Amino acid sequence: MTKKEIAQKIAVVPQESKNVFDYQVLDMVLMGINPWLSFAEQPGTEAYHKAEEILAELEILNLKNKSFNKISGGER
């Protein structure tokens, strides 16, 4: 498998980590689409809607605008 194919199948979000950039939870979920995008391609409106659907399905839509650095490990 290529690195891209592996990235499309496996993802890891460590419970404890500090990101240099203060991403919102929604941004972190959107990063999961990167393996399907071409170089420098940005997620479109459909990707944002899908990310919100995923957060709603997990019953954590209320976290979408919170800082990923400030939510608990369990919320991650």
Whether the CB-CB separation of 30 and 48 falls below 8 Å is answered with yes
Please give the model's pTM, rounded to 2 decimal places: 0.74
* Token pair 């991403």 in the structure block, residue: 23
Tens digits of residue pLDDT in 13-25 = 777 777 778 899 9
The string of DSSP codes covering 5-44 is HHHHH-----SS---SS--BHHHHHHGGGGGGSPTTPPP-
Tens digits of residue pLDDT in 23-54 = 999 999 998 888 888 888 899 999 999 999 99
